[in-house]
Amino acid sequence: MSTELVSPEPESPESMTRVGFTLQVRKERLNEYRALHEEVWPEMLEALTAAGWHNYSLFVRSDGLLFGYLETPGTFREAQEKMAGLEVNARWQRLTAPFFELPGDTRADEAMTALEPVFHLP
């Protein structure tokens, strides 16, 4: 099931919700994970943007700890829900699932839990 999304007009920085999250990449798969992100599918990039994922960055430590950051005009849950119903996201989640240490059949996008902000210097 696919949901068509239209790219929203860019929001002002003040109206964006800043989100940080962590995941754990399998250390033995780090090089493959990095390589995969050198050429993210154009349709995945378009879907993320249309779903309100802006200024999205991923950072990874040598032990596999991954930190993600994004800004979204609504809530993080809303941004996740917009992606959840898209076929391109389902394909991406199947492709990337083996890279993560996750409980059971949990998908990486389901395991993303927003961290509590403690400081921001605008």
Catalytic (active-site) positions? 37
List, in sequence order, every beta strand (DSSP E) within 25-114. Answer: 54-60, 65-72
Q: Which phi and psi (to 5°) does residue 75 adopt?
A: -95, 160
* Residues 19/72, Cβ–Cβ less than 8 Å: yes
For the chain, how many residues are written? 122
Show the beta-strand stretches assigned E in 1-122: 17-24, 54-60, 65-72
